[in-house]
């Protein structure tokens, strides 16, 4: 049996968040995340939106929540006609998007506390397997009225382990 890809998000604090990605749940979303990570896209970006008890969000090249990689992918979730039953429980990684279901690009969030109201509405594609304490530390930082951390929470590096498997470039919309 093939091993699922793993991703390590290394924060500027030295803390690490290790995730297992689930291509069987959201294949193109996983392909997209791997593609961006292998291109060092996430390196130096920050968690720009932090809501303790809900989620931490990163992956915006502008650091504002409005940026994207210049393209979007189809939303792989139930309300968009895609079979993805991964629940938004604590530690799950999912794609952020606008109201358009096919608007996800590079922004992602890690669920801090169970958020079942997101199930079927967002493309969940993996979960934290080590380092939830690092997620908790980011979730605990002080934020402004727009949920932006007062002290930047920077992603120093994202490393990918594919275990000898190959993943295709993402299909864009």
Short-list 125, 170, 168, CA closest to 19: 125
Could you tell me the pLDDT band of residue 1, with boundaries at 50, 70 and 90?
low
pLDDT of 92 higher than 70? yes
Structure confidence by residue, pLDDT tens digits, 103-142: 999 999 999 999 999 999 999 999 999 999 999 999 999 9
Confidence of residue 2 (pLDDT cuts 50, 70, 90): confident
pLDDT at 20 over 90: yes
Tell me what pLDDT residue 71 has: 98
CA-CA distance, 155 to 142, in Å (whole number)? Answer: 17
* HSE toward the beta carbon, residue 63, CA cutoff 13 A: 12
DSSP β-bridge partners for residue 73: 104
Tell me which H or E stretch contains 9: strand 6-11
The percent of the chain in helix, strand and coil, each rounded to the nearest 5, is 15, 30, 55
Which tens digit of pLDDT belongs to each residue from 134-156? Answer: 999 999 999 999 999 999 999 99
* Nearest alpha carbon to residue 132 among 44, 20, 36: 20
């Amino acid at each position: 049996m093939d091993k699922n890809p793993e991703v390590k998000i290394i924060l500027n604090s030295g803390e690490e968040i290790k995730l297992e990605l689930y291509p069987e749940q959201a294949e193109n979303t996983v392909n997209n995340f791997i593609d961006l990570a292998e291109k060092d896209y996430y390196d130096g970006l920050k968690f720009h939106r932090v809501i303790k008890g809900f989620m931490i969000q990163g992956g915006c090249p502008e650091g504002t929540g409005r940026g994207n990689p210049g393209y979007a992918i189809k939303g792989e979730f139930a309300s968009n006609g895609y079979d993805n039953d991964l629940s938004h429980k604590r530690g799950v990684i999912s794609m952020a998007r606008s109201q358009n279901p096919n608007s996800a690009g590079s922004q992602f969030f890690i669920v801090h506390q169970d958020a079942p109201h997101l199930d079927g509405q967002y493309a969940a594609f993996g979960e934290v397997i080590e380092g939830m304490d690092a997620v908790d530390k980011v979730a605990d930082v002080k934020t402004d009225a727009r949920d932006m951390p007062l002290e930047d929470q920077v992603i120093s590096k994202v490393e990918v382990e594919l275990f000898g498997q190959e993943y295709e470039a993402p299909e864009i919309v």
